[in-house]
Structure 1
Amino acid sequence: MPRASAADAAETARRILETATAHFAEHGYASCSVDDLARAAGVTRGAVYHHYASKPGLFAAVATRQQESVAEAIVAATRDSTPQAALREGSHAYLDGITGRTAARVLLIDGPSVLGWEEWRRLDAEGPERELRSGLREAGAPPALLDALTAALSGAMNELALWLAVRPDDAEARRQAHGALDALLDTAVSRS
């Protein structure tokens, strides 16, 4: 039997990842089996294991892609902005990006328990948290408080995202969350 080309293999891996992303977002990690994911992707169970080694490995790939997507939204929202505007625009882009149904479920609900706390924190530190720290520094946050402010704002934004995740169609809740975020940001950089 001929081996699949590199392009075919990449397409299979992509299809598995997209299918897993949709299933994890819709049903949660615990409710998805590798057999279900393989069947939905139109591949064998062996193909899933070949590309991702395990169900937790597949979830880690999904979570990594979701973190990258949120970080990309932050960067796109802050391009060509002043430091103060970039901090605000990037923080709002984070809140909007992570409250999409997929990102919230994968990153905030299932992520810490499936990935483990240390891995979950590493993913956040390499993506959105890195952008937040940079934004705070450039906007003039006090250097002595930079680590604490980053942790506090990151935690607050994650809590706002979880609060919004259970209110997906509530425009007033979204307005309130963005207003609360503005108030937090104003306080964070007003001490400089």
Structure 2
Amino acid sequence: MQQDSTRRSNRDRTEATRAQLIAAARKLFTEKSYAETGTPEIVTAAGVTRGALYHHFADKQTLFAAVVEREAAAVAEAIERASPPTLDARDALIAGSDAYLAAMRAPGRTRLLLLDGPAVLGRAAMDAIDNRHGSRSLREGLIAAMRSNTMTRLPAEALTALLAAAFDRAALAIEAGGSAEDYRAVLIALIDGLSPTRLQALRPARTR
């Protein structure tokens, strides 16, 4: 029993130290940028030793990846909370879109996920993180809409990639001062434009 308690205590301390490092690094990365932040600053801000940093993370880039992963998970959680299974497929996609735009307005998040993330980790690593979080949620929502026949059946991976790019561009534009209402309206139009009836109406009439 005492051994189990000791193991739990050690695990709690480990998780607490890791969380301190991620929180301190996030603050510095968003205030100063990844390139301008040094590991001595991070350990000082976290209140831990340099040895503790390298016990949990191989280097600064690995710590940055953990920060990005946590941010991406937070966005996905917000989307999933906003689009429960009780909503129909179209409403879930709209609610998820709204949740994404709102979640991306957290200070520093667009910089971490959309600017520094790809620059520091590379596109392939960022795509892998996205596929575990936000892109996964979007893909599941699109597949649900196609299965319910509220959206034309299209290749799910390609559709997810293109819509995700539109959402990311909207988040960046809003961060830069663009109208959130305008970008939201266009995103909703994109989603609704994929309905079978809308696409059928856009097809040119056949000539005899």
For residues 59-116 of structure 1, the C-alpha deviation after alignment (integer angstroms, 9 at most, x for no partner) is: 0000110111010001000012111100111112112212322321111110001111
For residues 20-65 of structure 1, the C-alpha deviation after alignment (integer angstroms, 9 at most, x for no partner) is: 1111122211111101111111112221111112100000000110
RMSD: 1.7
Work out the percentage of aligned pairs sharing the same amino acid: 36
Inter-partner Cα distance in structure 1 for 2:139 and 2:172 = 21
> In structure 2, what is the equivalent of residue 49 of structure 1?
54
Does 2:166 correspond to 1:156?
A: yes
> In structure 2, what is the equivalent of residue 23 of structure 1?
28
Q: How does 1:160-179 map to 2 (within 5 A)?
A: 160-167=170-177, 173-179=179-185
Inter-partner Cα distance in structure 2 for 1:12 and 1:157 = 34
Q: Which amino acid aligns with 1:156?
A: A
Q: Which amino acid aligns with 1:9?
A: T
Structure 2, unaligned stretches of length 5 or more?
1-8, 201-208
For these two proteins, the number of residue pairs brought into alignment is: 185
Does 2:199 correspond to 1:191?
A: yes
> In structure 1, what is the equivalent of residue 112 of structure 2?
106
> In structure 1, what is the equivalent of residue 15 of structure 2?
10
SS of 2:108's equivalent in the other structure is helix
Q: Which amino acid aligns with 1:105?
A: R
Structure 1, unaligned stretches of length 5 or more?
none
Does 2:44 correspond to 1:63?
A: no
Instruction: Report the Cα offset of residue 146 of structure 1.
Output: 2.8
Q: Is the 1:29–1:110 contact (alpha carbons within 8 Å) kept by the matching residues of 2?
A: yes
Q: Which of these residues, 81, 96, 104, is aligned with residue 76 of structure 1?
A: 81
TM-score by length of 2: 0.83
Inter-partner Cα distance in structure 2 for 1:103 and 1:133 = 21
Which structure would you say has the larger RCO, counting Cα contacts within 8 Å and 6 or more residues apart?
1
SS of 1:191's equivalent in the other structure is helix
Inter-partner Cα distance in structure 1 for 2:113 and 2:192 = 27
> In structure 1, what is the equivalent of residue 204 of structure 2?
none
Q: Is the 1:83–1:139 contact (alpha carbons within 8 Å) kept by the matching residues of 2?
A: yes
Instruction: Report the Cα offset of residue 188 of structure 1.
Output: 2.5
